[in-house]
Structure 1
């Protein structure tokens, strides 16, 4: 029997890859008449290395995320998704996406942009998409193409 997804999660981080994943998530959500959760995880480990960290840094990160997520919800609505919300969470993106949000929101499909990490970066820090694909207890779609299924190529520096 054909699987129909009910609760779809797309994680966004401001990258072009995550934007492609978001746009595909909108299309998949519409086809499945599902609920879309657009999540941005503020990685608290990024603040640990800053000795002068105070709450205003986290507040600024959350404010910037809200502005972006508001525009994503507007795009979703303009493209036929009537049931969407955004989530801003704090923590390690890998575990928040693969475990915490997947369980708490009863997610049955996660979409993520393919990482832009090179081989050495993947060895040292790992990729969120790789971790989520291995540890989530639901389907995971790693998006590597645009809406016309053309491979997204990062511009070389």
Structure 2
């Protein structure tokens, strides 16, 4: 049975693994003639959960610039693959709720693609991985791209 997808969301955190997941998502989207949504979430919850003082706005602005560079690489890859229906977003909030709830309903996402683990090792140790949360809570298909050495 062939599963046709119309809107695919891929989480981008700047890791090599996330970029590999983007490549897989791009291939699936191209094959399905689907819309691809590449998202970087600036997690504002983690510092509070860890008991840190509020983060300076300049730090968030710096993170947004980094996110734009990650997403620029995604746009370039999609262009090189002759893939056009791509939207990139930088969103502030909890990665878990943004990916599983907010964007899935707003864009009618029917597939989420993520790397198995990304840059946030401290978060993974303290409260579990975003990928683990997504596969257990998402109300759409999920594809976790494993780490390849």
TM-score (norm 1): 0.83
- CA gap of 1:131–1:27, structure 2 versus 1, over 3 A, is same
Q: Which position in structure 1 is the counterpart of 2:105?
A: 103
Any idea what SS the aligned residue of 2:3 has?
coil
Report the aligned-residue RMSD.
2.2
Q: Which runs of 5+ in 2 are unaligned?
A: none
| Large movers: runs of 4+ above 2 Å | 45-54, 121-124
Q: Which position in structure 2 is the counterpart of 1:61?
A: 63
The whole-number CA distance in structure 2 between the counterparts of 1:122 and 1:132 is 13
Match of 2:92 among 90, 93, 111: 90
Residue-pair matches, total: 145
Q: Which position in structure 2 is the counterpart of 1:148?
A: none
Q: Which position in structure 1 is the counterpart of 2:81?
A: 79
Q: Which position in structure 2 is the counterpart of 1:144?
A: 146
Q: Which runs of 5+ in 1 are unaligned?
A: 146-151
Structure-to-structure mapping, 1:1-157, within 5 angstroms: 2-48=2-48, 50-51=52-53, 53-115=55-117, 124-144=126-146, 152-153=148-149
Any idea what SS the aligned residue of 1:68 has?
helix
What is the Cα deviation at residue 105 of structure 1? 0.9
Deviates more, 1:42-51 or 1:123-132: 42-51
- CA gap of 1:13–1:116, structure 2 versus 1, over 3 A, is closer
The structure having more radius of gyration, on CA atoms, is: 1
TM-score (norm 2): 0.87
The whole-number CA distance in structure 2 between the counterparts of 1:14 and 1:116 is 8
- CA gap of 1:138–1:74, structure 2 versus 1, over 3 A, is same
Q: State the Cα deviation string for residues 117-144 of structure 1 (Å, max 9, x = none).
A: 9xxx756411111110111111000001
The whole-number CA distance in structure 2 between the counterparts of 1:12 and 1:97 is 11
